[in-house]
Amino acid sequence: MNVSLDPRPSSFFAASELASLDLVKIPQHIALIMDGNRRWAAERSLPSVMGHWEGAEALIDIVLAAAEVGFKTVTAYSFSTENWHRSDCEVEALMEIFEVYLRSKKELMVKEGIALGMIGDLHRLPESVQEAFLEAKEATAECSRINLVLALNYGARDEIRRALCKIVAARDRYPFPIEEVTEEFIAQHLDTKEWGDPDLMIRTSGEWRVSNFLLWQLSYAEIYVTERLWPDFSSKDLLNALVDYQKRDRRLGGR
């Protein structure tokens, strides 16, 4: 598979666009449901794998654009626990994309200050994908401009199940009062403990559901849905989502 290593734009936004933003209200953490890859390919009479690859290429641009406006973490729903039910051919192609993507983008991530992380159960993924992820994570460990967190073999219900298993196992080893199991305590056993909860969730392709993604963490996130298919989602679309976010009155249940 050929991989593009073309240099990325030095700037995604005009100065006037950046000046129009309220820097105080830049969300620190955005979550992405990157929907529409297969539909994008079907509309062009291409195999679905081409849509997935174009979607992967789109992600790195969005992460760089997000860094430019001041986001600190981007969590991208890349492969769900339910995606294993797709055809063996498509799953195999996706695994190949993950491995190629992680290996080919490693140098770019280091150069651009992108620290790689992951949520989900890594162990079910092919060893080659696990190795590629761990190598990229290690290579980008000192990066601090922005975090790219890939949700791989991830499902929110499975995450909560695993968190409960950790808590039960910990209590078996070191009994503690049940009153200590607070919301904050549970959050410290979730996959996202390092990055916290998203402020904004963006879903492409016009679907209004969260699809077993970050069910705990999205409790108070703002949700932005666009009809744009993920491979066509651009920095301008990201800016539109950010402008919409900044117009909202975030009450967080307090009033």
Positions annotated as catalytic residues are 35, 83
Sign of the alpha-carbon torsion through 82, 212, 207, 64: negative
Contact of 111 with 143, CB cutoff 8 Å: no
Residue 94's closest CA among 114, 115, 79, 73? 79
Are 117 and 196 in contact by the 8 Å Cβ rule? The answer is no
- The Cα 17–Cα 242 span in angstroms is 11
Distance CA 181, CA 113 (A): 36
| Cβ contacts of 118 within 8 Å, gap of 6 or more | 133, 137, 149, 150, 151, 152
Q: Is 250 exposed, middle or buried (0-12, 13-18, 19+ CB in 10 A)?
A: middle
In which residue are the tokens 């994008």 written? 40
